[in-house]
Each structure stands twice: as structure tokens, then as C-alpha cells.
Structure 1
Amino acid sequence: MSNASSPARLRVAPSPTGDPHVGTAYMAMFDVAYARRTGGRFVLRIEDTDRARFQADSEAQLLDSLRWLGLDWDEGPEVGGPYGPYRQSERLDTYRPYVEALLDSGAAYRCWCSGERLAQMREEQQSSKSSVTGYDRLCLGMTQQEREKLPGFTPTPVVRLRIPDDVELGWDDLIMGRTSAPRPDDQVILKADGFPTYHLAVVVDDHEMGITHVVRGQEWVSSTPKHLLLYKLLGFEAPRFAHMPLLLDENRKKISKRKSPWAKLTWFREQGYLPEALLNFLALQGYPPIVEADGTEREMFTFDEFVDRFEFSRVDKAGSVFNLKKLDWLNGQYIRSLSREELAARLLPVLVDAGVLPPRPSLGELGRLKAVTALIAPRLVKLVDAPALVRPFFTPDEELPIADDARAALGDDAAAVLDAGIEALEGLPDVEGDIFGDGRGWTPENIEAALRSALVEKMGLKPKVAFGPLRTAVSGAKVSPPLFESMDILGRHSTLTRLRALRASL
């Protein structure tokens, strides 16, 4: 099915009940893509009617995470819009008239069954292996006075939707094609606390906000018949439904925050993934790569490219396993596509949080960071990899620690290597370029030439053996950024000071 020509209105409607789920961003991404593709609007609505699980800071985390990804909403909290308010807890007066209308028509009824009575009913159904499950309609057709004479009564009722025998169970899904779901039982649509359940609120809000397309995960397939019934009973025009494939873990199970830390949307930012890499990765979870003119596939693409070619008919119904190795690869590619200045700007808050740089770095520190950024970019997979690589460049020479594994790896000839290296580098002046006209400036090329001559050619050492102690001396680690460029950035004084300090400790 191709894209509609008329502007579409889509929404994402998360519940602030904990850390935002990555699935929210996944759905929002497809919402935004189709809204932009059709010149429509993307709406963010907060479904906070579950007061028992409500967490006050969850909404702020969600808004911040969506903005970080660039999934900005056209209407919603902090933005406003013509269909506000956009928090369900602020819309309670909206739902009550619809509940009363359903009660008056007989399409809904009050239920006074206590929680204990419902639990016993479910237990009996399970133990008897009954083919009939769900609410048994004990309260249907009863008045409060009639019901209170029976066991399991509570004076504060809920309101249930009465599912007719001929309820329509099928619909044409934008992704799954003709789809059907099992017959639902009589669902609660208004809780005892006066808050609507998801099933009623989502239908009323989507109608009143003019939502034309509902994008949600396939776990909501079973709820679609009851939602379509509510649209019909209330006289609303139903939106088109698009049930997305689920995000799956390595066992092909739906990812959960309880089992997988990366199910939390905030985790990706904390781990140093770039937002554009995460969006690209999420798109690949349910959408094919770009096929070039020569038939080759390109997995790396911008969000604008994704929008330009988006069609629901191309979404993969089965989905794919959440492969963090693929995300790591994509993230590394995006990191290396950034300019040195842009990457340094992305790294700065990470380095400040890690204590590598002060909150207000000096111009000299920022200049050195740009030089170091170019050096470490090929080695970065995530931004959080940077502090360990960058820290030695901003650590005072006398405070540089030598890692235990690096010191243990020093061979018996480390002292002789350091002595020869120090002597070779002492012959290079502390200047850049060829100001003496003899090519002796402190440059990566001259540093390498001097050390290779002294250690590889004269001492007959293999490069790995020759440069290992020097690497440990200047970085404090076994593995570091390119050695000669590191010495160039550190400068002659710091380089020789660090070489001498390690030599003195042997």
C-alpha cells in the first residue's frame, strides 16, 4: 500500500511508569516518518492514568530522550496544540460523558465484584482448564441492591464494556494485511478510582485529537477488536492500524527492561551511542536497507532518507533480533563520519562527566582536545570509550598512573629501551616544523624516525618490543592511541618526563 496523499496525524502515547522503553522511540520514529512523509503532524500524548505505577520523573526522561533523538513533536506537553491538554490525567472530564453514554445505551454496565472474587474466578477457570476465560458477567443486568446480596461485593464499582456476540474480530492492517484476534471478554473501561482504562482513553483521545493512523506493537493486536468496537459504539470513524514487529532479544522474545538494560531508552545515551546511529539501527529493525542503483544494499542512511522512502507496506512483519554488535558497528561509522570539531563537541560533556576535563575548559585544553579527537576517532565505538583514551593527555606528568597489566607486560629489556628512546628524543628540539632548516622539528614523522633508528635499526628490536615500553610510559596503558602522534601532542617536555619517570621506577 502506498502512502496516502492527505496529511496524516499520528501519535505516540507512552505511560510514565518508569524508565522510558526503547520501544517508545521505535514507534515514535515510524510515526514521525509517516507524518513528515505526508506533510502531517506528530502528536505526543502522556497516558498517565495508571496512578499505581506512575513515576513523576519518568515523563521528563521521556521528553528529554525523544528530543535527544530529534523526534520532536508538533503537539503535546511543553509544546501545546489545538487538542490539549495532552496528559490524560488532565482530561478526566473528557471521558465521563462517553462512559455515561455507553451505560445509557446498554453497551456498558457497572461491576461490583471485589478483587478477591475476581482472583477466585480466574483461579477456578485455570484449575478447571475451562475454554471460557475472562469476566463471567455476574454483574450484567443487576442493580447495586441486587448485587450486594451476593458474595464478593465491593461498594465502589468499575464500568465494563459489554462485548456483543457478533463483535467484529477482523480488520485490514497496514502492515499485517487482513488480521483478526480472539474474542475479548467484557473489559473494564472505567476504574473504581474514576480514571479510565487504556482501552477507553486511547479511543476517546485518538478521536478527539484527530488521529488518522495508529502505529503500535504487535502485542496490541488482541486489543484491536475492543477498540474498533468502541469506535463503532461511540459513532467515531476508526483510524487505520499499523501493528509493528516487536523488538526481540537474542532468544527472539520481546525485550523487557527487567531482563535487558538496553531496553531502557536512556541506556543508549549513557553508553555513548549517537542519536543518529540509534535511529538508523532502529529503522533497520523493521525496515529494509537502501538498495543502490547497482543492486548493493546500504545499511547506513540518514533519517531524512528513511522518511523519503517510507511506506508501511515495506515494513518487515517478522522484525529482527536486537543485535548490539550491529549497533556498535553503525555507531563507529557515524563517529568517524563526524568532523573533528563536531566529534570533540560530542565528547566534551562525556569527558567533563568523567572528570577528564573541567566544566569550563580553557582554550588550550579545547585545542588539545581537538588534536586528541582526531587521534582516537578510529578507535572509538561509543563515546564512553573516550575518557580512558583521552585522560593521559590531560593528566599531569607526575600523576600519570601505570596500569598493573601494562607494567607486568614490560620485558627485561624495558630499561635499555627507555634509555635509548630518551637519548634519541633528546636530540629533537622542542619546535614544530623545520625552522632550523635541517628538518629536526618535534613532529610525528621525526619522532618516529628517531625512535626507529635507535630501537629497531641499532638495537635490532621488533617494533612491538621496541615501542611497547614507550607506549606504557606516555599513556600508562598497554593499548593507547598512535604513539608518535601522542608524543607530538604531549610535547617534548612531557614525553621525556614520562619516559624518565617509568625508567626511574624500573
Structure 2
Amino acid sequence: MGKRKEERIHVTSNSGRPSRGRFAPTPSGRMHLGNASTALLAWLQLRAAGGAMVLRMEDLDRARCKPAYAELLIEEMRWLGLDWDEGPDIGGACGPYTQSERDERYREAIARLRGDGWLYSCYCSRAELLQMANAPHGLASEGAPVRCGCRELSPEERERRERIKAPSLHFAMPERDIGFRDGIAGERSFRSAGDFAVVRADGVVGYQLAVVVDDLAMGITDVLRGWDLLDSTPRQLALFEALGATAPRYAHGPLWLGDDGSRLSKRHGSVSLSELRAESVKAEEIVGLIAWATGLIPKPEAAKPAELIPVWSPEKVAQEAIRLPGDWMERLR
């Protein structure tokens, strides 16, 4: 059997453009230390480069996302000492900056992709796709890593299935490996990530498409986000390519875990910024904790974000997940 072809995505054409980055949280809960870490690292990357920062609310899942959480997130980012040049609260030339207000742009991209032959109707249920993937996590969370067969259905069979179930629209991933250089994780290569939904059966636009359309429309050149989104990158690179656009440079910061190795939650103590503020923890103490835990400074000393710009270096940022010790609250003092 021959070797798989690898496609290495180059984004060097971004180098001549002014740097533009973004922090794009989902306002479905209170901001916690992991969110704050990503926001701080993304902010430092852009401010160190003299670039512009965009704040965007990714609220496509209307059932989970609440305006009150979006307002609190803005308040707590400002409390940390972070600012931005464009966003839902201050506007800007690329608005609106809330995804639920950008549906028309997504539909235009969907029409283009469909016209160019990148999309097909899928009649499988989510359970069926997960069963094919045999891995209900990671990339499989938005589609099976193998094609389900719906793309090859006859017109008669497609019509029959459509009478039974409303289809989702899937993007047909190129049959090749995709490689890229991550600003923190280094050289990465992924096998074909599998087809995925760009429109769910209920009509909701998929995360991968919305992110790419927004980053393109907002002129984003640099994306620093959480490590859990690293394996979304090949799908987004493929979408940029299908739309004939240059992809941003990507970097992925470390995940935050409790001392038991699981995702941060209430069982690990006060991990939301709201709780920490209620316990009179200062913003500078949290910023210093994040800078220490991610590898930017040697010990957790209180600092303002602007004071960390001179020490910013992506080479310093940890690639391993951050496991907070049981006495981490004491280290804030």
C-alpha cells in the first residue's frame, strides 16, 4: 500500500499583514482559570507583537449561552487587566462580534461550499456517527473520522431518507494528511480528520464553519487557544483552503487540571474568577499564578498583564497540561 500524501499548510503570507488576534469564548458559564489562562496568553501574544485584539462571543448554542454570562465575562476580563480593540461592547469595523448575529455570513459560505461540491447531505444520527468512530471524544465529537456512505447514495435513496429524517450538511475532508506548524506545539500532522457537520439537522451552523468564516471576515492572522482545540485545526485549515483563503497562524496553550488529573471543577475548590474575587483574591495574583503555571515566570508573583509583555515567548509556554497542586490557593498569597 502506498504512503498517504501529506499536505503541509503554509501561512507565511500572513507575515506581511498587521497582526490581529482574538479571544473567542463561549458564554455558557462563569470564566474559570483555564479560560483566563487562554485569554491572557492570547492577549500577550498580540500585544507583544503590537497587534490588535478582537473579542468575539461564540454563542451558537443558544440553549447553553446566556447574555448574563457574556456580560460577566467582559467584566472579569477587564478586572484581570485585559483590553481589546474590537468587540461586542465597543464595536468595530468587522462587527457584529456575537456569532448569533452573523448567520447571514455563514449561509453565504455554506452556499459557496455547496456550489463548489464540498458539501453533501448526511442522514445518519449522531449516535450512528459515534458508533462508526468508536471514539466519542476529540474529533469524533463533531463527526466520524471515516465517511459514513451518505455521499454515495443514489438520488432515489437520498429522497427516501429525506422523507424519514432531516439531513445535516457535511464537509467532505480531503483524503490526505494535513500538517502544520503550531506556535507552541511545534510540527503537527493529522491523518484525514473525517467529514464533519457544517449545518446540523436542526439547522444550527456548526462550530468549525462559523469559526473559519469569522476569522476570515475579521482578518485574524494569529489564533492562540486551548490545547483541546488542537485537533480541530486540520478541519479549519481544510475549510480555509476550500474557501480560497489564507489560514491564520495557530498556537495552542495548555489545559488546566486539578491535582487529581481531571478538568478543573468545583471539587477542586474556587476555580471561577467570580469565586476568587468573592474571596478577595486580587487580579494581579491570578495573573501571576497563570504566568507561573504556563512557564512565563519562575515563581507565582503578582503581576499586571502589561508587566508580562517583555517576558512573553511562545517557546516558554508549557506543552503539557497544567496540574494545579492541592495548595495552589496558598501560592496566590
Matched, 1:320 2:322: yes
Q: Is the 8 A contact 1:66 1:72 kept in 2?
A: yes
Shift of 1:146: 2.8
Shift of 1:56: 3.4
Q: Is the 8 A contact 2:58 2:98 kept in 1?
A: yes
Q: Which residue of 2 aligns with 1:159?
A: 169
Match of 1:17 among 2, 7, 28: 28
Task: Using structure 1 for the length normalisation, give the TM-score.
Answer: 0.57
Q: Is the 8 A contact 1:248 1:321 kept in 2?
A: yes
Q: Is the 8 A contact 1:7 1:38 kept in 2?
A: no
Q: Which residue of 2 aligns with 1:253?
A: 262
Gaps of 5+ in 1: 291-296, 333-506
Q: Which residue of 1 aligns with 2:3?
A: none
Q: In structure 2, do the counterparts of structure 1 residues 10 and 153 end up closer, same or farther at CA, with 3 Å as the change threshold?
A: same
Which AA in structure 2 matches 1:325? D
Q: In structure 2, do the counterparts of structure 1 residues 15 and 144 end up closer, same or farther at CA, with 3 Å as the change threshold?
A: farther
Which AA in structure 2 matches 1:45? R
Q: Which residue of 2 aligns with 1:264?
A: 272
Matches of 1:302 and 1:64, distance apart in 2: 16
Larger Rg: 1
Task: Using structure 2 for the length normalisation, give the TM-score.
Answer: 0.84
Match of 2:284 among 270, 276, 299: 276
Q: Is the 8 A contact 2:55 2:86 kept in 1?
A: yes
Matches of 1:120 and 1:267, distance apart in 2: 40
Shift of 1:101: 1.2
Matches within 5 A, 1:357-396: none
Match of 2:47 among 36, 47, 53: 36
Matches of 2:162 and 2:106, distance apart in 1: 31
Matches within 5 A, 1:446-457: none
Shift of 1:6: 6.7
Secondary structure of 2:78's partner?
helix
Q: Is the 8 A contact 1:147 1:153 kept in 2?
A: no
Q: Which residue of 1 aligns with 2:102?
A: 91
Shift of 1:247: 1.1
Shift of 1:231: 0.9
Matches within 5 A, 1:123-162: 123=131, 126=134, 134=145, 136-142=147-153, 145-150=156-161, 153-154=164-165, 156-162=166-172
Q: Is the 8 A contact 2:121 2:167 kept in 1?
A: yes
Q: Is the 8 A contact 1:249 1:322 kept in 2?
A: yes
Q: In structure 2, do the counterparts of structure 1 residues 153 and 238 end up closer, same or farther at CA, with 3 Å as the change threshold?
A: same
Secondary structure of 1:289's partner?
coil
**Quick check: which one's strand share is greater?**
2
Shift of 1:122: 3.6
Deviation per residue, 1:105-152 (Å, 9 max, x gap): 111112233x3xx4245447649xxxx954643321447753242599
Shift of 1:274: 0.2
Q: In structure 2, do the counterparts of structure 1 residues 329 and 298 end up closer, same or farther at CA, with 3 Å as the change threshold?
A: closer
Q: Which residue of 1 aligns with 2:60?
A: 49
Matched, 1:237 2:246: yes
Secondary structure of 2:88's partner?
coil
Q: In structure 2, do the counterparts of structure 1 residues 287 and 144 end up closer, same or farther at CA, with 3 Å as the change threshold?
A: farther
Shift of 1:161: 0.6
Q: Is the 8 A contact 2:22 2:220 kept in 1?
A: yes
Q: Which has the higher contact order (CA 8 A, sep 6+)?
A: 2
Q: Which residue of 1 aligns with 2:195?
A: 186
Q: In structure 2, do the counterparts of structure 1 residues 94 and 258 end up closer, same or farther at CA, with 3 Å as the change threshold?
A: farther
Match of 2:296 among 285, 288, 295: 288
**Quick check: which one's helix share is greater?**
1
Secondary structure of 1:179's partner?
strand
Q: In structure 2, do the counterparts of structure 1 residues 43 and 144 end up closer, same or farther at CA, with 3 Å as the change threshold?
A: farther
Deviation per residue, 1:247-298 (Å, 9 max, x gap): 121023332x3644534232211222100110111111112325xxxxxx78
Q: In structure 2, do the counterparts of structure 1 residues 27 and 148 end up closer, same or farther at CA, with 3 Å as the change threshold?
A: same
Q: Is the 8 A contact 1:36 1:307 kept in 2?
A: yes
Q: Which moved more, 1:197-206 or 1:62-71?
A: 62-71
Match of 2:228 among 216, 219, 224: 219
Matches of 2:208 and 2:133, distance apart in 1: 24
Matches of 1:265 and 1:204, distance apart in 2: 31
Matches of 1:50 and 1:39, distance apart in 2: 33
Matches of 2:28 and 2:300, distance apart in 1: 37
Matches of 1:245 and 1:32, distance apart in 2: 15
Matches of 2:214 and 2:300, distance apart in 1: 39
Q: Which residue of 1 aligns with 2:140?
A: none
Q: Which residue of 2 aligns with 1:363?
A: none
Q: In structure 2, do the counterparts of structure 1 residues 206 and 329 end up closer, same or farther at CA, with 3 Å as the change threshold?
A: same
Shift of 1:66: 0.9
Matches of 1:322 and 1:165, distance apart in 2: 40
Gaps of 5+ in 2: 1-14, 136-142
Secondary structure of 2:256's partner?
coil
Q: Is the 8 A contact 2:170 2:198 kept in 1?
A: yes
Q: Which residue of 1 aligns with 2:91?
A: 80
Which AA in structure 2 matches 1:160? H
Shift of 1:307: 0.8
Q: Which residue of 1 aligns with 2:5?
A: none
